[in-house]
Amino acid sequence: MQKSNKSQMEIMGLVIIVILVAIGMLFAVQFLLKKPAGRETAAVKESTIAANFLNAMLSTTTDCYNRNIRELLQDCALTGGTTRCPGQRNSCDYASDQIKIMLDKTLSIWNKDYYFSIKGAPGVEAITFGNPCPECEREAKIHPVPVRPGFEIQLKLEIYS
Amino acid sequence: MRKAQIKMFETMAVLVIFFFLLVGGAAFYFQIQKSSIKRDLARQEQLRAFQVVQKALFLPELDCSFVSIQKDNCFDKLKVMNLGDLLKQEKFMIDYFNVFGFSEIKVTQLYPVNVTFSYTLYKNIPEKYKSMISTQSPILLFDAVQNRYNFGIVEVDVYAEEQ
């Protein structure tokens, strides 16, 4: 009888230890798997910045016959840049320079890694800024710009964290 | 009798160790909870700062509208200047305290580069604050005089008051 009581006590002790260790491991796992506090809001912020940048940049008026960037890119995509802008640059080069200025004054100063690219026509595909990072965590926004019915170009801005 | 005493000591020792483990476990649990609460507080501050930014970006007092057509993500420069001057007066700043709280909102034009335009729309900084979260967002600035859209940013600094 005594032996039986002893072994029961032993097992009880083991059970308590196992339960405590399991609870401890549960808390540790929960703690380790949680994302850092600011990461969720940073992702939303970066997504908003990318969308707002593309939106604002496309509607910005330039000194090239008071055309906005959208119109210059449409001309570049359609004709390869026949419009002559100040400084004897064609619409593709001029639009590229103005986009670079805006990127330098915002994302570069804010120390954000980014990649800006345009797809849809040979003339505009040469306009890229930043370095792509396919394996990085990123927030990206794509803004389609119609050039004519059935033909559109797509601007993409990726901001890496 | 001796055997019974040894048994009693054994039981007491088990109980003492058990309560030590319990107290240790509870202390560990409360420590985890404390860091979890701190993380939640930091997240709430970030969310609140982002809320203020969104409210600033969508203020109807500053929108660019023409014949009821509103342009997204755009501030009218003349409206910015007038609202900024109005909000320098305390009675109007109090009205907007419910919207912006303790924060500073600045609108700056970045393009074209040869034109400088920088305006503080709202400024209410507490005497003592424990943290400040700064957010910038690109916006369009409509110049009604020259009828053109310029590129700028709105900077919102949200302060967490020290309690």
Q: What are phi and psi of A60, to 5 degrees?
A: -70, 130
Domain that holds residue B127: 3-161
Distance CA B63, CA B65 (A): 6
Q: Which residue of A has its CA nearest to B38?
A: A37
**Residue of B19, B20, B44, B46 to mutate when probing chain A, most A C-beta within 10 A:** B46
The whole-number pLDDT of residue A85 equals 92
The whole-number pLDDT of residue B17 equals 85
- State what percent of residues in chain A have pLDDT above 70: 92
Q: How far is B36 from chain A (nearest CA, A)?
A: 8
The whole-number pLDDT of residue A36 equals 60
Cβ atoms of A60 and A105 closer than 8 Å: no
Taking CB atoms and an 8 Å cutoff, what residues of chain B touch A24?
25, 28
Question: What's at B74, amino acid-wise?
Answer: C
How many separate domains does chain B show? Answer: 1
Q: Where are the beta strands (DSSP E) in chain A?
A: 84-85, 89-90, 113-119, 129-130, 138-148, 151-160
Q: Which residues, given as ranges, of chain B have pLDDT below 50?
A: none
Q: Considering only the beta carbons, identify the residue of A20, A34, A59 that sits closest to B21.
A: A20
Q: Model confidence at A4, in pLDDT bands (50, 70, 90)?
A: low
Q: Which residue of A has its CA nearest to B31?
A: A27
Q: Model confidence at A125, in pLDDT bands (50, 70, 90)?
A: very high
The whole-number pLDDT of residue A40 equals 67
Q: How far is B138 from chain A (nearest CA, A)?
A: 5
Taking CB atoms and an 8 Å cutoff, what residues of chain A touch B28?
24, 27
Average pLDDT over residues A123-142: 90
Structure tokens of B43?
């997240």
Q: Considering only the beta carbons, identify the residue of B18, B50, B140 that sits closest to A41.
A: B50
H helix intervals, A37-121: 39-59, 69-79, 91-103
Q: Which residue of B has its CA nearest to A31?
A: B32
Distance CA B12, CA B117 (A): 78
Average pLDDT over residues A83-105: 93
Taking CB atoms and an 8 Å cutoff, what residues of chain B touch A41?
43, 46-47, 50
Cβ atoms of B74 and B63 closer than 8 Å: yes
Q: Is the pLDDT of residue A2 over 60?
A: no
Q: Considering only the beta carbons, identify the residue of B14, B111, B153 that sits closest to A60.
A: B111
CB contact under 8 A, A9 and B150: no
Q: Where are the beta strands (DSSP E) in B19-128?
A: 64-66, 69-71, 74-76, 103-111, 118-123
Tell me the per-residue pLDDT of A8-34, one tens digit each, with 9 for 90 and over.
888 888 888 888 788 778 877 776 776
ipTM value of the model?
0.79
The whole-number pLDDT of residue A141 equals 93
Tell me the per-residue pLDDT of A37-75, one tens digit each, with 9 for 90 and over.
556 677 778 888 999 999 999 999 999 999 999 999 999
